[in-house]
């Protein structure tokens, strides 16, 4: 693995970047914190395979023993999949993780920061973070918790492919924040903002595209006009796996109540809620998660190839 002061690149990633070939960044937090064992390893393999089968190079982002990496693989990847002392690292945590030489699984925000550093233009994930739902005990005038993902989307020239924001969030508030931050949202073969586990949210999109080529053209024009925001591409989870909005909302309501009873908060909230929803849906939400991750990786590779051409 080739290393400079700030970033280590796997041979395949470094060679692809040198040739200006398509590269797709992948976050590692979804494998180290978001999904259970052994499904996390299955997800990693499926996403990498989906990217490579479309002619692009996969670059899993992480901080490995204090070294930021794009192209986590081999024994290092296996260690992350075992979750042995791996921390969840957002963009603000990167400097601490490097200084203290820890293993850090990168969130969407941290992966965007590393992709930006390496000039990687495309990133595939499951669902972005956003504005959290207001807890029952909060006052209406209290500031609501908001993911760092939104800040990074507002300053990273990266195309991000996802299935919308995670269903456990306030989707309409997240949609409004994306608009305020100037982040264009493009639906791929959908005219409605997906809700991660479900295709229906009732939130209409302004722009929908049917091809990766059109998305690439919009992206080039967006950045060519001096904009610095990401382009957020959303596609619904595969129809054969997607859950109904009613089932999702019921499971999330129960999961939020459980989290409040147990005093879960901060960075632990999202993994807790995802696990609770999986349990409450008899693991059907886990099947949706795995399917949409693979689907998003495939679309990301197509867009990366279109941008490279």
Could you list the active site residues? 27, 166
Within its chain, how far is the Cα of 137 from the centroid? 29
Q: Which tokens go with 236?
A: 């619904």
Cβ atoms 186, 231 nearer than 8 A: yes
In 3D space, the residue among 168, 243, 172 whose CA is nearest the CA of residue 204 turns out to be 172
CA torsion angle 32 34 37 43 (round to 10): -90
- β-strands 87-89, 67-70: how paired? unpaired
In 3D space, the residue among 183, 242, 177 whose CA is nearest the CA of residue 207 turns out to be 183
Q: DSSP secondary-structure letter at 165?
A: B
- β-strands 185-188, 231-234: how paired? parallel
What SS3 state is found at 283? Answer: coil
Report, in angstroms and rounded to the nearest whole number, the Rg of the chain calculated over CA atoms.
Answer: 18
Separation between Cα atoms, residue 105 and residue 75, nearest integer Å: 15
Separation between Cα atoms, residue 144 and residue 32, nearest integer Å: 26
Other residues' Cβ atoms within 10 Å of the Cβ of residue 36? 13
Give the H or E element holding residue 203: none
Q: What Cα–Cα distance (Å) separates residue 225 from each residue in 41, 123, 305?
A: 40, 21, 22
């Amino acid at each position: 693995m080739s290393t400079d002061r700030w970033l280590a690149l796997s041979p395949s990633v470094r060679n692809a970047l040198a040739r200006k070939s398509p590269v797709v960044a992948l976050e590692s937090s979804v494998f180290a914190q978001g999904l259970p064992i052994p499904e996390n390893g299955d997800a990693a393999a499926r996403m990498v395979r989906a990217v490579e089968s479309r002619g692009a190079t996969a670059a899993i982002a992480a901080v490995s023993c204090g070294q930021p990496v794009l192209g986590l693989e081999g024994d290092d990847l296996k260690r992350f999949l075992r979750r042995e002392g791996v921390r969840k690292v957002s963009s603000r945590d990167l400097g601490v993780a490097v200084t203290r030489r820890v293993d850090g699984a990168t969130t969407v925000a941290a992966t965007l920061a590393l992709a930006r550093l390496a000039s990687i233009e495309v990133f595939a994930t499951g669902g972005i973070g956003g504005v959290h739902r207001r807890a029952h005990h909060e006052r209406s005038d209290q500031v609501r918790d908001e993911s760092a993902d939104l800040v990074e989307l507002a300053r990273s020239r990266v195309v991000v492919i996802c299935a919308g924001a995670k269903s456990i969030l306030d989707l309409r508030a997240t949609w409004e924040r994306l608009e305020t931050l100037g982040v264009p949202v493009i639906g791929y073969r959908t005219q409605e903002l997906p809700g991660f586990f479900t295709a229906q949210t009732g939130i209409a999109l302004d722009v929908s595209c049917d091809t990766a080529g059109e998305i690439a053209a919009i992206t080039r024009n967006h950045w060519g006009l001096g904009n610095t925001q990401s382009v957020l591409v959303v596609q619904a989870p595969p129809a054969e796996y997607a859950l109904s909005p009613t089932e999702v909302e019921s499971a999330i309501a129960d999961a939020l109540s459980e989290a409040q009873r147990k005093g879960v908060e901060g960075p632990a909230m999202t993994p807790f809620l995802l696990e609770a929803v999986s349990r409450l849906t008899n693991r059907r939400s886990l099947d949706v998660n795995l399917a949409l991750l693979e689907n998003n990786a495939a679309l990301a590779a197509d867009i990366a190839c279109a941008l490279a051409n």
